[in-house]
Every structure is written in C-alpha cells, then in structure tokens.
Structure 1
Amino acid sequence: MAVAALIMFATNVLVTKAASNKLDVSVGFLISVIVNCLISGLASGVQLVWQTSDFSWSLSGAISFAFAGIFSTYLGRWFFYESVVRLGSARASVFQVTSPAFAAVFAWLFLSERLSTIVVVGIALTICGLIVVASPARNANPKNGNHHSLLNIFSKGASWLKGSHVLLGLGSSMAYAVSTVLRGNGIREWNEPIIGALLGALAGLLVYLLTSRNTHLLFAGIRRANREGIWLYAASGMLTIVAQICAIASFRFIPVSLSNLITLCTPFIVIPCGYFLHKNSERITARTWIGAGLVFLGIALMIYMKE
C-alpha cells in the first residue's frame, strides 16, 4: 500500500506540472479538493454498504483525521501546487521527502522525544541539500557595496528565501509532516482509512471556502476554464485521495516513519521522468542531483536511527 501511494504521489507531481500550464492554480486547487471529497465519499458509501461488521465511531480519531486534512489537503497542497509552479516538479518533489525531518523535530518539541546526534546530523544534511537544490545561480557581476555587514547578510538571506521560493517547499513539507503525525494517531484510535480520508478532505475544503474571499469567482472560473486543465486537476484529485487512503491504511501494518519514507521517495520517480518528459526544461543540473543526494542521505540517517 505504501509503494502504491508512492507511485500515485509521484504521478501526481507530474500531472500537477502539466495542469499548471493549462489552468490557474487557485481554480485547480478547488477542483482537486472537490474530487477528493467525491471519490472518498463514494468509497465510504460503498464500504458502509458492503461491510459485514457493525460500524463503530471514535470522536478522537475523527478529530485527528479532520485536522490532518486541514494541514495536508488545505495548507500542504496549496503550498505544494505553488512550489511545483515556481520550482518545477523535480525540485518540488525533493522538498516533499523532507517531511520525516520535520516530523522528528515536531516529535521532539511536542512529544518530548529525544533527538540523537545522528538525527541532528541527518536534519542538517537535509537542510544543506535543500539549499543546494533551491539556491539560484550566482550573479557573475555583483553590485558594489558592503557585502559583509550584518544587515546586508540578513537582507540577502531574505531576498534569497523570497526569490528561490524555498518557503513554499518548506511550508508544504512541514504541513504534510504534521498531517502524517495526526493520521498515524487517527488510524490507531479509529481504523477507518477511507472515512478518515473523507473527513480530512471535507475539513480541508471547508476551511478553504471559509478563508477564500472570492469563492464565487473560483466556481465561475471552473465554468470558463480550459477543459484539459480541468481534467488534469481532476486526475490530480483522484490520485491524491487514493494515495492518501493507501498511506493511511499502511500505518496499521508498518511503522509510520517507514511508510512515510516510502511514500515520500517521489524524487526517485519524478526527477528522471521529468527530465525526459519535459526535455530538461526545468534545468535539472548536477546541483539538483547532488542536493537530492544530500537530502536522501539525511533522511536515511534518521530512518536508520528510528529502526
């Protein structure tokens, strides 16, 4: 199930890249989340009709799934879509694999779990890898001035963060890390991955509609949108919700950290596929491969310590 989720998540990255060229991301986001609700709602209905055992309810599990949906379906996916548009599918997929690093930090902060030296080294390698992947090319003709003053250093750092769009990738990764922890808790409290995915999708859609100022314009935009773009974002919605169900279900059988590592190894598929499908239009260079290697090395160290 984790491997199936990996394949669907990786395919979604490529589909999202193609869809973003056809349709505005805000409209596409709404389409994909609506499809999330429709697919998971249909699957939940089929499950309730065909299951032979009595249906049980867990309030704590349902709350965990709902909040997980807010972090993944709403926050994580919005950041993810924006990062694919601005960074490209290959670089955006590298950011996704950093979720275990953030999950380890969150567990240290909120669950009092100990961070070993090797885990800290792994996190440091991951951050270095992201800097290598996302950093823009150096300017061959830098402007004159005091480049070593503290104010100038902070100014350059802020400009780099904004210009490289690295915050979008990090925001998506952190949101998915929080949702993973919540879903892991939810599946232990309430073993209903399909209905849990539905609750998460509904919660994410509700929060998006409540926080969007121009919701009516988005729905109007769907009616006027490029049909190919609509179908691509609908495919994205189908891929993400089925992948989520598979990933949540896998938590019941294997450790959350192991499942998370498998499902987030999308760069292994996305980078080579994106290179050939887009004819290297995203400028995948040796820097991208080196940075991705550092990220994977850091994640491998953290997973090794967990095992």
Structure 2
Amino acid sequence: MGEFIAICALIMFSVNVIITKVASTRLDLNTGFLISIAVNVLFSGFVLITLLLTRGQPLQFHALGFFMFVLSGLFASYLGRYLYFDSIAKLGPAKASTFMVSNPLFTVVFSWLFLNERLQALELAAMLVVLVGLFVVSYVPAANRKSESRELGSRISWKGLNGLSRLSRLSGLANPGVMLALMGSISYALGNITRGSAILDWNEPVLGGFLGALTGLVLQLLLNKKTRSFLSDLRVADKRGIWLYAISGVLTISAQVGHIAAMHYIPVSIATMITNSQPLLVIPLSYFLLKNQEGINLRTICGSLLVLVGIGTITLV
C-alpha cells in the first residue's frame, strides 16, 4: 500500500517538473513560485475542510504532531526550496539536481538517528542501486554546466534570507553553489524526518500537507522581498503561465500529501527514495513532450534502468 502511494506521488512530482519547465518560459520563476505555494495552501485547505465535513468523526488534536508538521514546512516548504532554487541559479539545474540526489541518503541517516528505522540488507542494497542510477541520470558534463548556470542565473532572482547566502560563503574552500545545494538537500531530509515523525503519531496526511504549505507561505510572505510586488506582477503576467503554475501547485501539494501518507505504511527513507526518483519519469516525458530537451543518451537509459531495478526490488521485498 505504502509503495503504491509513493509511486503515485512520484508520478505527480514528475508531471509537475514538466509543467514547471513549460511555465517558466512564460512567467518569472519567483512570481510563479509564489502562485504555486499559494495554491498549495488553498487546494489542501479545501480538501481538508471537505474531508473533515464528510468523514463523520472529529479531528483529534496531537500537539507534537502539529509542531512537527509545522516544522516540516520550515525545513521543506521554505528553507529547502529556497536553498535549492538558489543553488540552481549558481550551478545550473543539472548539477544542482545531482546534489539533490543525496536527499534520500541524508534521510536514511536521519531516520536511523531519530526514528530508529532499521532497513534490511536487501533494501539498503536496492536504495544504493537507485542512488547510483539517479546520479548517472542527473550527471551532466562540465562543458554543459556553465551555459546552464548563465541561462538560469539571468532568470532567477531569489531574494530573502540574506544571512543564508552569507553563510554559504563562509567556507573559502567550497563552491557557494555546492554548499547551498547540500544544505538544501539536508533541509529537505530534515523535513522528511519531521513529517515521518508526525505521521507515525498523528495519521493526518492532508492536514500535515496543509500545515507545511501554510508555514512555507507565511515565511515566504514575511522574508521574501519579491512578495511586495507580487500583486502588481500578477496583473501583467502571462495568463497561461499563471494557470500552469496553479496546476503545478495542485500537483505539488497532492504529491506531498501522498508522500506523507506513504510514510505511515513504509519506512520514511524508502518513501523518500521512491518519490525522489523523478528522473525515471521526467526524462521519457521530456523526450516525448519537450522534444528531447534533456538529451537522452545511453548513459541516461542505463541510469534509468538502475533506478527501475532498485524500486522494483524494494516493492517486492
């Protein structure tokens, strides 16, 4: 059951990548992101109210679960997204996504430390196969990275949390973009752990998704300077771009709720690994819908097969 829910979340996350790619050509990423996260809150709030009115039993409040869901909004919906988007601007999408492959690895470590999860040897081996496959798929030769960084750097102007950018420059021995990508990966992993901790004690995935999205939206409105001009930007924005980002918001919150729900049935680390295997679906979708903009080659196919073998092994264990 948990594996099926996680795979459904994976499909929604993957479709969202394609929609976001198309939407970003029509509307500024900063404005689009605010549209998406606002729709996260509105859609999950609507589903939550509908669910509470129709299920016939009152909501039982759980203080620790509530706190953990809110904390997941800080780590994943806000901090993780900020760091990831900033790393895209500095490194380019391909290299940034390569570092984000480490998210499941950090989640495994944190699950072992904080949730006392223990995986079987075969599950660990399968996860290693998936991680290797994701790295192979995401890797882009150095010659292609500089052009991507220049292109994305001119399109992404992410403001807010200036202290984090200064923090990433404290180490003179490390590339700031790499530091941001790794910090983003760790932040996403902490968001997974807080969600997993909450869902084990308080099985309310829709409420958890709503609380996380609401926390992320509030922090964006308070700390992102771009929000000051959001309404004026929205008035002159491309209407199709607005709708695409709105659809993106529905897909992302639905996928997040699915990810949280899967954690109730299977280990947090396995649920995270499955939902993070997006290149497995994004690449063939990109090939057919975006005319092979990702440049599929033999390496891509081999990496995708490794991911497929790893996920298949886990679902059959």
**1:32/1:237 contact within 8 Å kept:** yes
Q: Count how many residue pairs are aligned between Structure 1 and Structure 2.
A: 282
**Cα offset for 1:81?**
5.0
In the alignment, what sits opposite 1:236?
A: 248
Q: Structure 1 residues 21, 132: closer, same or farther in 2, change over 3 A? A: closer
**Cα offset for 1:289?**
5.3
Q: Choose from 20, 27, 36 the match for 1:23.
A: 27
In the alignment, what sits opposite 1:184?
A: 196
In the alignment, what sits opposite 1:265?
A: 277
Structure 1 unmatched runs, 5+: 140-153
Q: Secondary structure at the match of 1:129?
A: helix
In the alignment, what sits opposite 1:9?
A: 13
Q: Choose from 115, 119, 137 the match for 2:143.
A: 137
Q: Distance in 1 between matches of 2:83 and 2:120?
A: 30
**Cα offset for 1:213?**
2.2
Structure 2 unmatched runs, 5+: 146-170
Q: Structure 1 residues 219, 286: closer, same or farther in 2, change over 3 A? A: farther
Identity of aligned residues (%): 41
* Cα displacement string for residues 265-306 of structure 1 (whole angstroms, at most 9, x for unaligned residues): 211101122123222334444555567778x59x959x97xx
In the alignment, what sits opposite 2:48?
A: 44
* Cα displacement string for residues 171-230 of structure 1 (whole angstroms, at most 9, x for unaligned residues): 443332111111000111211111111110110011111111242212221221111111
**Cα offset for 1:137?**
2.3
In the alignment, what sits opposite 1:207?
A: 219
Q: Structure 1 residues 131, 266: closer, same or farther in 2, change over 3 A? A: closer
Q: Secondary structure at the match of 2:58?
A: coil
Q: Structure 1 residues 80, 11: closer, same or farther in 2, change over 3 A? A: farther
Bigger drift between 175-184 and 73-82 goes to 73-82
- The one-letter amino acid of 2:71's match is F
- The one-letter amino acid of 1:25's match is L
Q: CA RMSD in A?
A: 3.9
Q: Distance in 2 between matches of 1:102 and 1:255?
A: 14
**Cα offset for 1:33?**
0.5
- The one-letter amino acid of 2:261's match is A
**1:13/1:93 contact within 8 Å kept:** no
Q: Structure 1 residues 290, 233: closer, same or farther in 2, change over 3 A? A: same
Q: Distance in 1 between matches of 2:136 and 2:254?
A: 28
Q: Choose from 47, 60, 63 the match for 1:59.
A: 63
* Cα displacement string for residues 109-162 of structure 1 (whole angstroms, at most 9, x for unaligned residues): 767889999979949x759937981441299xxxxxxxxxxxxxx99x85xx56
Bigger drift between 207-216 and 92-101 goes to 92-101
Bigger drift between 95-104 and 177-186 goes to 95-104
Q: Structure 1 residues 128, 49: closer, same or farther in 2, change over 3 A? A: closer
Q: Distance in 2 between matches of 1:236 and 1:138?
A: 27
Q: Secondary structure at the match of 1:5?
A: helix
Q: Structure 1 residues 289, 255: closer, same or farther in 2, change over 3 A? A: same
Q: Distance in 2 between matches of 1:178 and 1:191?
A: 19
**1:66/1:199 contact within 8 Å kept:** yes
Q: Structure 1 residues 127, 300: closer, same or farther in 2, change over 3 A? A: closer
- The one-letter amino acid of 1:196's match is G
Q: Choose from 7, 32, 37 the match for 1:33.
A: 37
1:100 aligns with 2:112: no
Q: Distance in 2 between matches of 1:171 and 1:219?
A: 31
In the alignment, what sits opposite 1:142?
A: none
Q: Distance in 1 between matches of 2:111 and 2:101?
A: 17
**1:69/1:201 contact within 8 Å kept:** yes
Provide the TM-score with structure 2 as the length reference.
0.73
**Cα offset for 1:34?**
0.3
* Cα displacement string for residues 219-269 of structure 1 (whole angstroms, at most 9, x for unaligned residues): 221221111111111111100101111111121222222222221221110
Q: Structure 1 residues 242, 211: closer, same or farther in 2, change over 3 A? A: same
Q: Distance in 2 between matches of 1:222 and 1:206?
A: 19
